[in-house]
Chains A and B, each alone.
Chain A
Amino acid sequence: MQIVIASGKGGTGKTTVTSNLGYVLSQTRTITLADCDVEEPNLGIFFPCIPKTHPVHVIIPAVNESKCTYCGACSEFCRFGALTVLKDRVLFFPQLCHSCGGCFRVCSYDALEKTPAYVGEILTCHVSDSLTLVSGKLKEGDVRTTAVIRRVREMTRNDPLVLLDSPPGTACSFIETVDDVSLCVLVTEPTPFGLHDLSVAVNVLDVLNIPAAVVINRSEGSDEPIEEYCTGRGLPVLMKIPLDFPLLKAQNNSDIISRIDPAWFHRFKELGEKILAYAGGFS
């Protein structure tokens, strides 16, 4: 079963929720945490270990000038502008290439050779007997987030219970992370930005037909706008996390509040049970 923790807005507490849930659930189950925030994976901070590294490559074109007729079909197809065909040469801009593979299909002269390009790596480690951490890490400066996320998902596809820490936003990398999962838990905060980006994420999940539930973080007792929105959209609010100094302190010490405070352990255990129930009666 695959469950995503996402947010729309950045900095609302995805990783706080994921790390606590991961720790708590791993006490009674076998669980995999998958860090899909490949531009800045940070789950590893809370689960230090020495990982195994698996490089991720994508396929990009290399032009065979002896076969190329400069017909321009590849550059006409490439909507990213990565291929520019001039009268007597082809320019390839690797930093613009999204590795979609379209140019290989439209070339009638077999003039493009498939060449691997390194885009990042997957770090895997067994934190404990019941907790595995799989983190995607995009090469600095690269844009092909989805290739790295896809590999994280491939490597965890057959695991019995996977919690995926989503990248913020609702663009391609978010969609790659939530594709075909059982439930997406949206962590939001009671601010206008939190509500706005929550609603954008809910709309995307709606289109993808993925069930959603909400956790309100940094709750200070005035969550009405978020709650009204959730009621209107039929979204369950599974938990409210107050603005809590010991929790923040634990985070800042790269610790997990559930590991040091039994009250918090209990709250996140409850959240975990609710999530599993919503995701389809996992037992």
Chain B
Amino acid sequence: MIVCIPSRGLTVDSQMDDRFGRAPYFAFFDTDTDSVRVEPNPHAGGSGGVGPMAVQFLVKNNVQILIAPRLGGNADEALKAASIRVIMQNPDVTVQTAYNTWKANPENAS
């Protein structure tokens, strides 16, 4: 299963980004191997509608779970339609910590 976390930087020690559609990077964790790949968000600098665009980027990367702090209405609608589950997480942590926190207790996360 692929878990996505918006990130401010290219490594998992970077802080989580508090935005979704305009986050500069996305970290993609593979839960089977705990391996991770960080990719630039191609829509971060878009003029508008970046929420749904980012969702489509997640769909292309086979994401099933998104760990994010907050979402816009359009992104929310697209995520629901794409059946991507959203886990709310305070962004005051690194990407790795956010992943570890979720992994330690995946069912209890809201």
Binding site for B on A (CB under 8 A): 72, 75, 78-82, 84-87, 89, 91, 93, 95-96
Contact = CB atoms under 8 A, between A and B. Distances in A.
Contact of B74 (A79, A81, A85, A86): A81
**Which 4 A-B pairs have CB atoms at the shortest separation, nearest pair first?**
A81-B49, A96-B49, A84-B52, A81-B53
Interface string B43-59: 10011111111011001
On chain B, which size bracket covers the interface? Answer: 10 to 19
A80 B77 contact: no
A80 B78 contact: no
- By secondary structure, the A interface counts as loop
Main secondary structure of the interface of B (DSSP, over half): helix
Of the candidates B51, B52, B74, B81, the one having the most CB atoms from chain A within 10 angstroms of its own CB is B52
B46 A85 contact: no
B88 interface: no
B82 interface: yes
B47 to A, nearest CB: 7
Given A84-B53, A84-B78, A86-B82, A79 B47 contact: yes
Given A89-B81, A93-B74, A96-B74, A79 B52 contact: no
B48 A80 contact: yes
Query: Which of A72, A80, A89, A95 is most buried by chain B, counting CB atoms within 10 A of its CB?
Result: A80
12 contacts: A75-B56, A78-B49, A79-B49, A80-B48, A81-B48, A81-B49, A84-B52, A84-B55, A84-B81, A86-B56, A93-B77, A96-B49
